A and B are shown apart, each in its own frame.
Chain A
Amino acid sequence: MSQTDIKEEINSAAEPLLPIEKKLIGWSLGIGVSLLVILIAVNHFAPITS
């Protein structure tokens, strides 16, 4: 892959987001935020002990 190829490729026209990609992003964020809320709750009820 030459330097010119890279430049051209990086600046080439965008591929539209496919439904499966939107699902991946949506599910990742949804699960991630939900798990974080659960972990925050666990952290609240079982705080770090020293």
Chain B
Amino acid sequence: MSDIAVKVSEPSLVQQGLLNEDWLAVAIGLLVFALALFSISGTDLLGWAVTTSVYTNVAGALAPIAKAYAGLGGVLSLLLTYAALLLVLGVGVSTLGADVRKFALAFTVVFAIAYASWIAGSYAYIAAVTPAEQQKFGVSWSLKLTNEGGFVIALLSGLVIANFFPRFAAWLKEAIRPELYIKIAIVILGATVAVTAAGRLNLASSLLLRGAAAIVEAYLIYWAVIYFVARKWFGFSREWSVPLASGISICGVAAAIATGGAIRARPAVPVLVSSLVVVFAVVEVLILPFLAQTFLWQEPLVAGAWIGLAIKTDGAAVAGGGITESLIMAKAAAEGIKYQPGWILATTTTVKIFIDIFIGIWAFILGYIWTNHIDKGPDKAKAGEIWQRFPKFILGFILVFAMSLWLAVGTTPEIAKALPAAAGEANVFRVIFFILTFFSIGVLSDFRKLWQQGFGKLAAVYFVSLFGFVIWVGLLISWLFFSGFKPPLVS
């Protein structure tokens, strides 16, 4: 589910942070959404936020999102965006008990590198996709990565820091919070998904129903097979196998920690497993979107669902869905097909959210079996743990989605017409939180550290499960449920 990798000596902090970060993500996500909604009434409170266009001259790359704020210019808009994020996140992390001064210093550097990566990704030689765009920008070739290639650059920047400048990575630690960033982004994403869905309610509800297949696959099939592989083929103990199977089959840290806690594993075990999940997620997000573009561009929704089922952290999966959408739309555009944006990412997000919802229930089921049949003792699993382990940020996503959908289809045509622009302003912040997530995941992925800790056997389970099973079954299920259905075309 999430992307945090931490020192073995700090498991209790991680567990506390997970609970608190969920509610903080809900609060910040709702704040952004609420401020964006003001634009419906004509009061534009977020129009100053910075956005980046594809460029050949970097001086013209940055601009405020709203024309009404054009006078600010790109650089001032960027500084305002940074200052606003610093203020909101600074207050937010102070409620988590973080050192605000350290956070502010580290966040400044994190934001600078992450956003610089995003700007670099918008360079026409990297981002221009169609021949028409290449002609527009006067470039004879380009990598055709779309401007979301900036996510990959941010990830690579983080990886370089983690693996070649470990002391610098340690100094940045206070602001390396991929889990918080992606949860805020997912809450905000609720508005974009609703606006997208409102245009084709039948298609959206059909897609939603298909999310059920993802739950069955992740919990009942992936988990059982990976647990068996870990126990029988690799000889891991139950204490290691449960978090490992959960981390690989469900979603990263929260699933590993929730189920690890449920079976009363020592806290360090799921935390160590989570570090491994993050590293593999990085590898996946660097490979799978490009494979999807090459082999699944004619089946965009299959690609979106596949990314959601194959990449095992919320951050990497949802952000990977964003890259996949850009790459596939670019490829389709080059073939003269223009899909409406948002559908592939919405499919990935739907699949991931559906999987997340059941973490608490699955943890309770395992906890019940373990405390009553395997490690019998006075500390029995309680039903209250379902709520305790429920990923609360999903409530924020559902609230934003429901409100946006109501505004889009249940109010006046004027409000419905103004809503996409409001969601668009919120989406600017969603993109920035995605960038921060990518960079942070990279910074946490110190490959050498994992090998030094003797993780070869754990990595082998992951490798065998992922490439021998998870990816292919995910592709099959995605194909069975989503093939033949395309996103609506731009009218």
Contact = CB atoms under 8 A, between A and B. Distances in A.
Interface residues of B, number: 47
A13 B235 contact: yes
Contacts of A21: 227, 231, 238, 374
Contacts of A10: 236, 240, 454, 457-458
Contacts of B235: 13-14
B382 interface: no
Interface string A1-15: 101001101111111
Contact of B202 (A9, A12, A42, A50): A50
A1 to B, nearest CB: 5
B294 to A, nearest CB: 24
A3 B227 CA distance: 24
B316 to A, nearest CB: 24
B86 interface: no
Interface in A1-50: 1, 3, 6-7, 9-15, 17-18, 20-21, 24-25, 28-29, 31-33, 35-36, 39-40, 42-43, 46-50
8 contacts: A20-B374, A28-B221, A29-B220, A36-B217, A36-B477, A39-B212, A49-B206, A50-B200
Given A17-B232, A25-B224, 16 more contacts: A1-B266, A1-B269, A7-B453, A11-B454, A14-B231, A14-B235, A21-B231, A24-B224, A25-B227, A28-B223, A29-B221, A36-B217, A36-B477, A40-B481, A43-B481, A49-B202
B203 A48 contact: yes
A43 B209 CA distance: 9
Contacts of A43: 210, 213, 480-481
Interface of A: 1, 3, 6-7, 9-15, 17-18, 20-21, 24-25, 28-29, 31-33, 35-36, 39-40, 42-43, 46-50
A17 B380 CA distance: 22
Nearest to B485: A48
Given A3-B452, A21-B231, A39-B216, A15 B238 contact: yes
Interface string B454-486: 100110000000000000000001001110111
Contact of A18 (B210, B228, B266, B374): B374
Contact of A36 (B206, B216, B224, B231): B216
Contacts of A18: 374
B136 interface: no
Contacts of A40: 480-481
Contacts of A42: 209
Contacts, number: 102
Contacts of A6: 272, 453-454
Contacts of A13: 235
B71 interface: no
B67 interface: no
A36 B480 CA distance: 10
Contacts of A7: 453-454
B36 interface: no
B369 A20 contact: yes
B268 interface: yes
Contacts of B216: 32, 35-36, 39
B237 A9 contact: yes
Contacts of B452: 3
A20 B8 CA distance: 31
Nearest to B373: A20
A35 B153 CA distance: 41
B279 interface: no
B73 interface: no
A29 B222 CA distance: 9
B75 interface: no
B381 to A, nearest CB: 14
A11 to B, nearest CB: 7
A50 B8 contact: no
A6 B484 CA distance: 48
A31 B8 CA distance: 36
Nearest to A32: B220
Contact of B207 (A14, A46, A48): A48
Nearest to B202: A49
B453 A39 contact: no
Contacts of A24: 224, 227, 369
